[in-house]
Structure 1
Amino acid sequence: MNIPADLKYTESHEWVRAEADGSVTVGITEYAQDALGDIVFVELPKVGKSCTAGDDAAVVESVKAASDIYAPLSGVITAVNEAVAAAPDSINADAYSAWLFKLQPSDPAAIGGLLDAAAYGKATGE
């Protein structure tokens, strides 16, 4: 399984990429999309929504199940990926380019508390 070393991860299978402007980009991992199977619907959060780390932020539905996507950090949603909502199967094609939303963290240093690639690999048994 592909677990890019330049990303951070959550135990609930979100990936997080720190951006140069201090924001973070969030999606679901290859492990999560594989477990879900064929993704058929994505519900994105509203831009401007405030989230606390661990809050439901989005929903991904597959032919098998619906899965909540959680905010990895506290902050405000600054952008959503409408292209992935229009083509949910793009997550199955490449989970690491099919981001879901961008978040401006209220505490940018909190990203340090997320899992690195090695810890995520260990958590998923990879």
Structure 2
Amino acid sequence: MSVLPSHLKYAQTHEWAYVDEDGNVVVGITDFAQEALGELMSVTFPELGMDVTQGDDIMSLESVKAASDIYAPVSGEVIAINEALEDEPELINDEPYDGGWLFKIAPNDVSELEDLMSDEEYQEQIDNE
């Protein structure tokens, strides 16, 4: 069973998101997703300042098994990337909910997070995969 912090919201495409103290949406991938990908080798980040729409494919992760697209859980502007992942992509494997976060979005409408799943709903989804 994967670890699923209850304060996060989850996308069907295995991203997690929450609103930080500055009102920005922090995004990463779930423990389930990083386990499925295996050891991560590289990260291709979205460009800072890029405008994204909820559901857009905006970056990719490459592992020993495969490359995987990462989708924007909300619409807005990419305002930060986790630069530590450029040298240590394995942080995503080691700390998917902490040091392995991917990027931050200044949301156009934070209520888009309501479109995402709770930890219980996401657990049900991955139980069926």
Coarse TM-score class (shorter-chain normalised): over 0.9
TM-score (ref. length: structure 1)? 0.96
CA drift at 1:56? 1.2
Which 5+ residue runs of structure 1 have no aligned equivalent?
Answer: none
- What's the RMSD between the two structures over aligned residues? 1.0
- Asked whether the 8 Å contact 1:44–1:85 carries over to 2, the reply is no
Tell me the equivalent position of 2:56: 55
> Partners in 2 of 1:105 and 1:88 — Cα distance?
25
Tell me the equivalent position of 2:38: 37
> Partners in 2 of 1:100 and 1:51 — Cα distance?
15
Tell me the equivalent position of 1:73: 74
Say which of 96, 102, 105 aligns to 2:104.
102
Runs of 4+ in 1 over 2 A off after TM superposition: none
> Partners in 1 of 2:21 and 2:94 — Cα distance?
26
TM-score (ref. length: structure 2)? 0.94
CA drift at 1:20? 2.1
Does residue 117 (structure 1) correspond to residue 103 (structure 2)? The answer is no
Q: Secondary structure at the match of 2:127?
A: coil
Letter in structure 2 aligned against 1:120: Y
Letter in structure 2 aligned against 1:103: I
Q: Secondary structure at the match of 1:124?
A: helix
Percentage of identical aligned residues: 44
> Partners in 1 of 2:82 and 2:43 — Cα distance?
10
Q: Secondary structure at the match of 1:69?
A: strand
- Asked whether the 8 Å contact 1:38–1:92 carries over to 2, the reply is yes
Which 5+ residue runs of structure 2 have no aligned equivalent?
Answer: none
**Which digits, 9 at most, give the CA deviation of each residue in 1:31-85, with x for residues without a partner?**
0000000100011111100001111111100000000000011110010001012
The number of residue pairs the alignment matches comes to 126
> Partners in 1 of 2:86 and 2:18 — Cα distance?
20
> Partners in 1 of 2:24 and 2:111 — Cα distance?
11
- Asked whether the 8 Å contact 1:39–1:61 carries over to 2, the reply is yes
> Partners in 1 of 2:35 and 2:5 — Cα distance?
16
> Partners in 2 of 1:4 and 1:84 — Cα distance?
21
